[in-house]
Amino acid sequence: MSRSASESAVITTARRAREAAAALAPLPRTARDAALEAIADALEARSAEIVEANAQDIARARQAGTPDAIVDRLTLTEQRVSAIAADVRDVVALPDPVGEVVRGSTLPNGLELRQVRVPLGVVGIIYEARPNVTVDAASLCLKAGNAVLLRGSSSAYASNTALVAVLRDAVVAAGLPADAVQLVPGESRESVHELMGARGLVDVLIPRGGASLIKTVVEQSTVPVIETGTGNCHVYIDESADLGMAVDILVNSKAQRPSVCNAAETVLVHAGIADRFLPRALAALTEAGVKVHGDEAWQKAGSSAGVEVAPATDEDWATEYLSYDIAAAVVPGLDEAAAHIRRWTSGHTEAIVTRDTAAARRFVSLMDSTAVMVNASTRFTDGSQFGYGAEIGISTQKLHARGPMGLPELTSTTYIVTGDGHIRE
């Protein structure tokens, strides 16, 4: 495609990213790592400038009456900028995914076949609020040899503009094309729509943020999308569970950090242990500040224990609360628990607590989710917990990547086939 006079700023940006990606692809690890080192150094050297720009976003947010917790997520201090720079250095230390031979063989006719990891090309990230994502996403994309288009929240526009200016200067100083890192121009929804239509220029879009943003991108984008993050996670307490372990895992899954996608939203309990488990669970959940939305069995147990249990409706089974709330039901058995989960899950993480190996195997085989925990908290579905280093998101789709996405998930592969004049008969 050639550039036309009427081309939008977003499409021009995407075209520049495509050119930068072509220049990045043949570069060896040393060149990409040098750019990341330059970025880390520049972030520290210019942190005052970044914090100053961030102050504008904070002032705007306060004026708009933004809640303190969100203002805090938006806030950059010199210390936080240093921590972001340290994260970039951690990315430098990760193994290079580019060039890894994934499969290889010599064919019967002597042709040498190698399937090799290569950069995806141009990666677009659409994300909300937190400006540290700007640097995290850019550094992971660069490490994997990709050009990145960053479309952050308008509430962090000044911060992101300052950060991207620092990143681009550092990239250029290291001899890479500036357009390897670009902020998508425009603060309106229109720029997201243009990005979604840039098929052929952008290789993949990764939306990170609220469910409505992700739904919009998944349904409307002609650019391929990796769906991330909605987590309606379940904990099933089997008849054979160690009840103390079950209470600990339930409370940890729900309440250790309720605002994240791998927090539990529903607990299902085998009928055979309900009498013994529900009172203990109610006490522990109440202690942790969690409100239960339960079926009749949980409501009865609540009455006996003097704890208010709200009646659960279908909406509760479907909801990702992201708060100190949990839906709760008693089920006749494991298969019914699995059926409930398959009906309502967003496909993120499910857990079983059991002492029975057959029950564990059967539960795992009946799930259709990104991760299944056996006697462990749902909160472990996480790139850094899995030992993958930084993650660019947790994919809840089945194609390309499922689960925490690290560097290998930011690559594609190509076949290199070497012969000495081979032709097909």
Residues at the contact surface with a second copy, assessed by CB under 8 A? 22, 25-26, 105, 107-108, 111, 113, 115, 118, 120-121, 199, 203-204, 218-219, 222, 224, 226, 242, 245, 248-249, 252-253, 256, 342, 360, 362, 364-377, 379-381, 385-387, 397-400, 402-403, 412-424
Q: Which one-letter amino acid corresponds to residue 150?
A: L
Q: How far is CA 164 from each of CA 180, 208, 239, 304, 358, rounded to the nearest angstrom?
A: 11, 18, 54, 58, 53
Q: Residue 172 CB, nearest distance to a second copy (Å)?
A: 22
Q: Residue 184 CB, nearest distance to a second copy (Å)?
A: 20
Quick one: 70 or 113, whose CB is closer to a second copy?
113
Quick one: 52 or 90, whose CB is closer to a second copy?
90
Quick one: 37 or 386, whose CB is closer to a second copy?
386
Quick one: 211 or 417, whose CB is closer to a second copy?
417
**Half-sphere exposure at residue 297, Cβ-oriented, CA atoms within 13 angstroms:** 20
220-258-58 Cα angle (round to 5): 70
Q: Residue 388 CB, nearest distance to a second copy (Å)?
A: 9
Tokens representing 175 are 């001899």
Quick one: 135 or 338, whose CB is closer to a second copy?
338
Q: How far is CA 241 from each of CA 248, 353, 361, rounded to the nearest angstrom?
A: 12, 5, 14
Buried b (16+ CB within 10 A) or exposed e, 84-122: bbebbeebbebebbbeeeeeeeeeeeeeeeeebbbbbbb
Tokens representing 52 are 């100053």
**Three-class DSSP labels, 249-286:** HHHHHHHCCCCCCCCEEEEEEEHHHHHHHHHHHHHHHH
Quick one: 183 or 249, whose CB is closer to a second copy?
249
Q: Residue 254 CB, nearest distance to a second copy (Å)?
A: 11
Q: Residue 402 CB, nearest distance to a second copy (Å)?
A: 5
Quick one: 1 or 64, whose CB is closer to a second copy?
1
Quick one: 376 or 407, whose CB is closer to a second copy?
376
Quick one: 44 or 344, whose CB is closer to a second copy?
344
Helix (H, G, I), strand (E, B) or coil at 102: strand
What single DSSP character describes residue 108?
T
Quick one: 173 or 260, whose CB is closer to a second copy?
260
- Alpha-carbon torsion angle 329, 249, 271, 274, nearest 10: -90
- What is the Cα gyration radius of the chain? 24
Q: Residue 251 CB, nearest distance to a second copy (Å)?
A: 8
Q: Residue 49 CB, nearest distance to a second copy (Å)?
A: 36
Q: Residue 382 CB, nearest distance to a second copy (Å)?
A: 9
CB 106 within 8 A of CB 405: no
Roughly what angle, to the nearest 10 degrees, separates helices 29-45 and 157-173?
Answer: 130
Q: Residue 396 CB, nearest distance to a second copy (Å)?
A: 11
Tokens representing 358 are 């057959």
Q: Residue 131 CB, nearest distance to a second copy (Å)?
A: 26
Quick one: 304 or 415, whose CB is closer to a second copy?
415
The residue among 322, 324, 266 whose CA lies nearest residue 295 is: 266
CB 289 within 8 A of CB 258: no
In terms of DSSP bridges, do strands 309-311 and 291-294 run parallel, antiparallel, or are they unpaired? parallel
Strand pairing partners for 112? 106, 418
Q: Residue 203 CB, nearest distance to a second copy (Å)?
A: 5
